C-alpha cells in the first residue's frame, strides 16, 4: 500500500495544507483561538485571498478569535502586504491572512502577523505552537464576546499612501505608461487595477482580474505560466507587464518584447533603485542570485544572506537595519520604508519609477545587469533520507564553501547549488547558478543524479 502523504505543515509563515482532509475548519478555529489567546484579546485583523475555501476558513478563524475574546476586523479579500500594512498602522494586536499564496488552489493557509504586521519570529511562533498543542485556550465569557467589524476600504488607501511617499508619483503619471497585468483572479485583482490606473496613472490592459473566478493558470507566476500576459504585452504594445500570485506578495515582470524577466533580476533592479537613493545594506535569502552581490558591491554595500522564508529575511533586515531586501527566487521585494514584508506593489512602483527616471525601457535596464545562468527545480523525497542526501552532496564537492543554515548551499568558484526542504510543501527544492548555461546544467544535473542515487520517491 503506498504511503499516505501528510499535507499539513506548520512552518515559518504559519499553518498550511490541503483543505479538507488536513486543513479543516475545526483546526483553523482551534489555531485561531490559540492565536487570540496568545495576543491576549484585543483587535485582530482578518483578510483572505480568493480561493474557494477562503470564506469557509475565514469564518472558522473568526469563530476562534471571538471565542478567545478578540474583536475581529474583517478587511475581506485583500493582498497580504496590504493586510500587513493595515495591522501595523492601526495598532491591532495581530492579524491573520487566510491564503496559501503561491500554492495550488487545493491548498490554503493561515499566515500569522504580530502587532507590527510582521510574520511571527521563531520565538513567537514556538510559543504559539506550544499553546496550540496544549489546547490552553482562553474561553471568553458571554459578556466578553466582541463583534466583527468590516473595514474593506482603509487598508488599500494606507498602503498606496505609503508607497507614493517613496516614489515620484507625478513623474510616473506624466509618462502614462502602457502596462499589462495578470492578477490570476487573486486577492490583488481589483486593488492592483486601482493602483496602476489611479495611483500611478497607467493605461492598463488587464487579464485575470475577476476575484469571483478560479485561478486561470498556475498560482505561482513562473515564466511557463505567463504566456497569456506575454501575448497581451505584445498585442497591446505595452511597455511592461506585471503578474502576481493569489495573495499579491510575489511579483513577476514581462518586458516590452513579451519576455519574462528573471525574478532575481527584478529584485536586482529594485535594489539598484533603492541603493542609489538610500545608504544601507541588503538582506536576501540563500537561493537569491549573486547579481545582488554585484549590484550592492558596485555601491560599496554589504549583502547578508538568510534561510529561505520572508520571516527569516525580515528578522535579519531588522537586526542590521537594511534598507532593502527580498527573495529573488520567488519574486519577493521587501522595502522597509513601506513595510517589512514582500510587496509586489512597492516593486511595481519602483520599476515604473526607474523607467520614468532613466527614460529607458525595462529590457534595457535589465540588460545592464551582470549575467548569470540559473536553474530551479523540485522533487518529492522520502522523509528521513534528507540527511543522507545532504551528506552525499557535501562529499561530492570536497573543498567547496558550505552553508548549512538552510539545507545545504555549496559555493564553487564558478557557481553554487542550494538544496533544501520546502517550507510549504513536502518537497525538496533545488536552485543552481553559474556563469554560463552549460555550467549550470552540468552542476544541476550532477546534483539531480545524487538525488536519484540516494532514494527519491517513485
Q: How far apart are CA 71 and CA 364, in angstroms?
A: 50
| C-alpha cell read off for 320 | 542590521
Across the strands, what pairs with 410? 402, 417
**DSSP classification of residue 257:** T
**8 Å CB contact between 93 and 99:** no
- CA distances in angstroms from 33 to 53, 64, 132, 184, 410, listed in the order given: 19, 4, 8, 31, 42
Could you say which DSSP state residue 196 is in? I
Q: Give, in degrees to the nearest 5, the angle at Cα 272 between 269 and 273.
A: 90
Region of 273 please: left (phi>0), alpha (psi -120 to 50) or beta: alpha
| Separation CA 331–CA 244 (nearest Å) | 9
Across the chain, which distance is largest between two alpha carbons, in Å?
69
CA atoms of 357 and 354, how far apart (whole Å): 5
* Chain-centre distance for alpha carbon 307: 14
Contacts of 392 (CB under 8 A, 6+ apart): 450, 453, 454
Secondary structure of residue 76 in the 3-state scheme? strand
Distance CA 340, CA 114 (A): 12
Burial class (CB in 10 A: 0-12, 13-18, 19+), 432: buried
Active-site residue, from 53, 101, 230, 344: 101
- Which grid coordinates are listed for 289? 542570485
- Virtual torsion, Cα 308, 123, 111, 104, nearest 10 deg: 40
Asked about 101 being catalytic, the answer comes back as yes
Nearest to 71 by CA among 62, 58, 84, 80: 62
Active-site amino acid positions:
101
Amino acid at each position: 500500500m503506498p504511503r499516505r502523504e501528510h499535507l499539513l505543515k506548520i512552518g515559518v509563515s504559519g499553518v498550511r495544507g490541503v483543505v479538507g482532509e488536513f486543513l479543516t475548519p475545526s483546526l483553523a478555529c482551534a489555531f485561531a483561538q490559540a492565536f487570540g489567546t496568545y495576543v491576549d484579546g484585543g483587535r485582530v485583523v482578518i483578510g483572505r485571498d480568493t480561493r474557494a475555501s477562503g470564506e469557509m476558513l475565514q469564518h472558522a478563524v473568526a469563530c476562534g478569535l471571538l471565542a478567545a475574546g478578540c474583536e475581529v476586523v474583517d478587511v475581506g479579500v485583500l493582498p497580504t502586504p496590504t493586510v500587513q500594512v493595515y495591522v501595523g498602522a492601526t495598532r491591532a494586536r495581530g492579524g491573520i491572512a487566510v491564503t496559501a499564496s503561491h500554492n495550488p488552489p487545493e491548498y490554503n493557509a493561515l499566515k500569522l502577523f504580530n502587532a507590527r504586521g510582521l510574520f511571527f519570529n521563531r520565538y513567537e511562533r514556538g510559543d504559539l505552537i506550544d499553546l496550540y498543542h496544549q489546547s490552553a485556550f482562553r474561553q471568553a465569557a458571554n459578556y466578553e464576546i466582541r463583534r466583527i467589524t468590516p473595514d474593506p476600504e482603509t487598508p488599500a488607501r494606507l498602503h498606496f499612501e505609503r508607497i507614493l511617499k517613496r516614489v515620484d508619483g507625478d513623474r510616473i503619471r506624466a509618462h502614462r505608461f502602457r502596462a499589462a497585468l495578470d492578477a490570476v483572479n487573486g486577492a490583488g485583482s481589483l486593488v492592483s487595477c486601482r493602483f496602476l490606473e489611479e495611483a500611478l496613472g497607467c493605461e492598463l490592459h488587464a487579464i485575470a482580474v475577476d476575484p469571483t473566478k478560479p485561478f486561470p493558470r498556475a498560482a505561482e507566476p513562473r515564466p511557463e505560466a505567463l504566456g497569456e500576459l506575454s501575448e497581451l504585452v505584445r498585442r497591446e504594445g505595452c511597455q511592461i507587464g506585471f503578474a502576481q500570485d493569489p495573495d499579491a506578495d510575489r511579483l513577476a515582470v514581462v518586458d516590452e518584447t513579451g519576455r519574462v524577466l528573471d525574478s532575481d533580476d527584478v529584485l536586482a533592479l529594485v535594489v539598484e533603485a533603492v541603493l542609489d537613493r538610500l545608504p544601507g545594506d541588503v538582506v536576501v535569502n540563500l537561493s537569491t542570485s549573486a547579481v545582488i552581490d554585484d549590484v550592492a558591491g558596485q555601491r560599496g554595500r554589504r549583502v547578508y544572506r538568510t534561510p529561505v522564508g520572508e520571516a527569516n529575511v525580515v528578522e535579519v533586515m531588522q537586526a542590521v537595519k537594511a534598507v532593502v531586501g527580498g527573495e529573488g527566487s520567488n519574486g519577493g521585494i521587501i522595502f522597509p520604508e513601506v513595510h517589512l514584508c514582500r510587496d509586489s506593489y512597492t516593486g511595481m512602483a519602483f520599476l515604473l519609477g526607474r523607467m520614468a527616471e532613466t527614460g529607458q525601457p525595462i529590457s534595457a535596464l535589465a540588460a545592464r545587469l551582470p549575467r548569470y545562468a540559473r536553474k530551479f527545480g523540485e522533487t518529492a523525497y522520502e522523509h528521513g533520507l534528507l540527511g543522507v542526501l545532504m551528506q552525499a552532496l557535501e562529499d561530492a564537492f570536497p573543498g567547496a564553501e558550505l552553508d548549512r543554515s538552510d539545507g545545504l548551499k555549496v559555493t564553487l568558484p564558478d557557481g553554487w547549488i542550494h538544496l533544501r526542504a520546502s517550507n510549504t510543501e513536502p518537497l525538496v527544492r533545488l536552485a543552481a547558478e553559474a556563469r554560463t548555461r552549460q555550467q549550470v546544467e552540468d552542476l544541476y544535473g550532477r546534483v539531480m543524479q545524487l538525488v536519484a542515487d540516494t532514494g527519491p520517491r517513485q
